[in-house]
Amino acid sequence: MHVAILGATGYSGTVLYGLLSQHPNVESINLYGHEGGKGSRFFDNEVPAFSTHLPILPFNPAEIMSHNDLLFCATPAGVTKNLVAPFIEADFPVIDLSGDFRLKDPLIYKKWYNKEAAPSSLLSKSSYGLTEFPEKNTTKYIANPGCYATATLLGLAPLAIEHMIDPNSIIVDAKSGVSGAGKKLSTTSQYNFINENAWLYKMNKHQHIPEIMQKLREWDSKIPAIQFSTTLIPVTRGIMSTIYLKPIKHYTNDEILTSFHKHYDNAPFVRFKENYLPAIKEVTGSNYCDIGVNYNPVTNTITIVSVIDNLMKGAAGQAVQNFNLFWNLTPTSGLPLLPVFP
């Protein structure tokens, strides 16, 4: 089939292009620019990651829909919502890596993103694409989850769905590599700042918090909020979400492990490591989410460690997984099955 990418020059878009170019069911990839794009070419002004220099075509919804079977949007938050109405109105398949359609409530979007939201009539036609827990009535517009949200929700899902969590006890300490901030230059992403450093930012203000809460409340409506911190660490790719919570009652270690096995034993991209706590390097370059748990009966505290590659399972990899799910393809098609090591 033929696919389109809007915004291929960012980190997520570049990784997405690389995955789709090796996908057995993708015949061609057309690239489009939301700022015109006429005359520009893929990788003309960058270190070439691939041996191709494809033209970036001007954004034209009618042209895109006539020449492609699906559109991937890898644009920044605040851009996609202004461009995709023709696709939604035409019921054309879209997988959106931005945050513009993840939140159902436009007022919540405005509060957390400090931007005007898409119209409610469009938001209602989107589906939240957490691939291990797809919505029952998936629409043709799929909002790919955020990276912090993916790692955190996959870590919490089994216990939340089984109502095993004290609703007021969840604390999340999440850490991300520098590529999560995107390609745009900033003081905090410069080598001199982040090398041999760790920077806690957006304390309880990160825009992925409301999408985490939106999904958590679907699983357990009694959860009112979470304590959530985000820290930038000096690695290129990767997220580690360390989650602390109190169970609703005393469980045995085996009961806790059983809840995770129940939900993930048949999930091709979640590797549940039981009481082994995984490291970021174990998933780098892959679409895996590795999860481990530890139960301290003395404090009655469960610690969950969930690690992903933010550009793969946290962005482009999950987008391809959603693509496979949408078209009923083999779930692992086009996705690497081994992490990069060392």
Which tens digit of pLDDT belongs to each residue from 202-221? 999 999 999 999 999 999 99
Mean per-residue pLDDT, 168-190: 90
Would you say residue 140 lies in a domain? Answer: no
Task: Please check whether residue 209 is in contact with residue 146, taking contact to mean a CB–CB distance below 8 angstroms.
Answer: no
Would you say residue 322 lies in a domain? Answer: no
Q: Give the span between the Cα atoms of 41 and 54, in whole angstroms.
A: 5
Task: Please check whether residue 243 is in contact with residue 172, taking contact to mean a CB–CB distance below 8 angstroms.
Answer: yes
Is the domain of 243 the same as that of 119?
no
**The pLDDT value given to residue 50:** 60
Q: Which residue has the tokens 């790692």?
A: 151
Mean per-residue pLDDT, 10-28: 95
Would you say residue 254 lies in a domain? Answer: yes
Is the domain of 154 the same as that of 297?
yes
Is the domain of 246 the same as that of 295?
yes
Is the domain of 160 the same as that of 111?
no
Which CATH number goes with the domain that contains 250? 3.30.360.10
Q: Give the span between the Cα atoms of 326 and 337, in whole angstroms.
A: 20
- 284's tokens: 């780098």
Q: Give the span between the Cα atoms of 220 and 167, in whole angstroms.
A: 8
Is the domain of 120 the same as that of 159?
no
Q: Give the span between the Cα atoms of 5 and 19, in whole angstroms.
A: 12
Cα first-last separation, the chain? 35
Is the domain of 113 the same as that of 250?
no
pLDDT bucket at 12, cuts 50 / 70 / 90: very high
Would you say residue 35 lies in a domain? Answer: yes
Task: Please check whether residue 31 is in contact with residue 55, taking contact to mean a CB–CB distance below 8 angstroms.
Answer: yes
Is the domain of 305 the same as that of 205?
yes
Q: Give the span between the Cα atoms of 286 and 291, in whole angstroms.
A: 14
Is the domain of 116 the same as that of 154?
no
Is the domain of 214 the same as that of 274?
yes
**The pLDDT value given to residue 130:** 98
**The pLDDT value given to residue 180:** 87
Task: Please check whether residue 90 is in contact with residue 84, taking contact to mean a CB–CB distance below 8 angstroms.
Answer: no
Q: Give the span between the Cα atoms of 302 and 247, in whole angstroms.
A: 7
For residue 55, pLDDT over 90 is answered with no
Share of the chain above pLDDT 90, in %: 87
- CA torsion angle 124 126 128 129 (round to 10): 160
Task: Please check whether residue 268 is in contact with residue 131, taking contact to mean a CB–CB distance below 8 angstroms.
Answer: no
pLDDT bucket at 47, cuts 50 / 70 / 90: very low
The widest CA-to-CA distance across the chain, in whole angstroms, is 65
Is the domain of 61 the same as that of 168?
no
Burial of 185 (0-12, 13-18, 19+ CB in 10 A): exposed
Would you say residue 131 lies in a domain? Answer: no
Would you say residue 225 lies in a domain? Answer: yes
Is the domain of 74 the same as that of 184?
no
pLDDT tens, residue by residue, 136-176: 889 999 999 999 999 999 999 999 999 999 999 999 999 99
For residue 111, pLDDT over 80 is answered with yes
Number of compact structural domains in the chain: 2
> Cα separations (Å) of 153 from 117, 157, 160, 256, 291?
23, 6, 9, 16, 11
**The pLDDT value given to residue 341:** 83
pLDDT tens, residue by residue, 285-304: 999 999 999 999 999 999 99
Task: Please check whether residue 33 is in contact with residue 58, taking contact to mean a CB–CB distance below 8 angstroms.
Answer: yes
pLDDT bucket at 52, cuts 50 / 70 / 90: low
Is the domain of 190 the same as that of 89?
no
pLDDT bucket at 37, cuts 50 / 70 / 90: very low
**pTM score:** 0.95
> What average pLDDT is seen over the chain?
94
Task: Please check whether residue 331 is in contact with residue 23, taking contact to mean a CB–CB distance below 8 angstroms.
Answer: no
Segments forming the whole domain that contains residue 18: 2-124
Q: Give the span between the Cα atoms of 101 and 142, in whole angstroms.
A: 8
Would you say residue 40 lies in a domain? Answer: yes
For residue 38, pLDDT over 60 is answered with no
Which CATH number goes with the domain that contains 23? 3.40.50.720
**The pLDDT value given to residue 41:** 56
Residues recognised as catalytic: 147
Would you say residue 106 lies in a domain? Answer: yes
For residue 43, pLDDT over 70 is answered with no
